[in-house]
Amino acid sequence: MSLSLDSQMYVRDLEEQLRRLLFGGGSAPDAEAAVLLVRGALADGDHSRAAWLAQSTQQLAEARPGHCDMAAAAAHARGLVDRDSAALEQAARTYAAPLARAKATEDAGLAWAGRGNQDNAVAWLRQAYAQYEQLGTVSAMARVRSQLRAAGVRLHHWKRADKPAYGWDSLTETEQRIADLVAQGLSNRQVAGRLFLSTHTVAFHLRHIYWKLDVNSRVQLARLAAEQAQVETA
């Protein structure tokens, strides 16, 4: 869907404000915003602006050598501008922020696909899918599934006969880890810190856990977890 002229002007105005905040020297660095600006310039077909923004991000990273996510953003921005899969892989390995790491991993897969290397493309896209799945970002998972289908790969899901819909065995690996930590008495915020997730994502998973286990409180979940532990050690 194309934007109206007014909408385009509004978006460009927002980009300009963000650019001034980032590169005007008056604010803390924001790695995600820097990469977002580069994406916007590329989507707008303005490669020279994207290149300038990538260079500015690199300078910002060099001015703050201890900021690992800013260094990752510099590699990410450079990789997007140059379609450089190696730079994107570097970004994916460097980011501390899980969502930024997943996005760079996805971009690395797309860069390899653009170069015709399907094996590397599929490997990185599969990795991105797993990262998005852990974060619970459903829209990103759907996008990567589409990209994998374009590469001739379909992700295999559990069949009904293989994985139950309810009960402890129905929980995904991430759900089991969250359930165990909640059963130990950790708050959503503490669980989020342990698993490098947002509290929103933890709450999202916890709702699914309650539904699958047919419980409605942390106390009931703790009781089920204790029973499960006895079964496993018996």
Q: Is residue 90 part of a domain?
A: no
Work out the mean pLDDT of the chain and round it to a whole number.
81
| pLDDT exceeds 90 at position 162 | no
Give residue-wise pLDDT tens across range 202-213. Answer: 888 888 888 888
Number of H helices, E strands in the chain: 12, 0
From first CA to last CA, the distance across the chain in angstroms is 59
**DSSP single-letter state for residue 160:** T
Render pLDDT for 27-39 as a digit per residue (tens, 0 to 9): 555 778 788 888 8
pTM of the predicted model, to two decimals? 0.60
Q: In this predicted structure, what is the pLDDT of residue 158?
A: 45
The residue with tokens 């963000």 is 18
| Residue 78 is assigned to a structural domain of this protein | yes
Q: Which of 53, 82, 111 finishes a domain?
A: 82
Let me know if residue 89 belongs to a domain.
Answer: no
Do residues 144 and 182 share a domain?
no
> Which residue do the tokens 């991000």 mark?
57
Residue 119 and residue 172 in one domain: no
| E strand or H helix that includes residue 187 | none
Do 76 and 100 belong to one domain?
Answer: no
For residues 151 and 202, state if they share a domain.
Answer: no
| Claim to verify: residue 23 and residue 78 sit in the same structural domain | yes
User: Is pLDDT of 54 > 70?
Assistant: yes
Domain that holds residue 215: 168-233
Which CB contacts under 8 angstroms, 24+ apart, belong to 162-169? Answer: 165/212, 166/212, 166/213, 166/214, 167/212, 167/213, 168/213, 168/224, 168/228
In this structure, the answer to whether residues 148 and 120 fall within a common structural domain is yes
Which of the listed residues 29, 60, 82 is the one where a domain comes to its end?
82
Specify whether the CB–CB gap between 204 and 136 falls below 8 A. yes
Please check whether residues 194 and 145 belong to one and the same domain. Answer: no
pLDDT at 2 over 70: no
Residue 76 lies in a domain: yes
Distance (Å) of CA 223 to CA 61, 180, 217: 49, 11, 10
Structural domain includes residue 216: yes
More confident of the two residues 153 and 28: 153
Q: State the total domains in the chain.
A: 3
Q: Residue 217 belongs to a domain with what CATH number?
A: 1.10.10.10
Q: Tokens for 168?
A: 């402890």
Based on the domain organization, do 40 and 6 belong to the same domain? yes
The residues, ordered by sequence, that sit 6+ positions from 19 with a Cβ below 8 Å of its Cβ are 37, 53
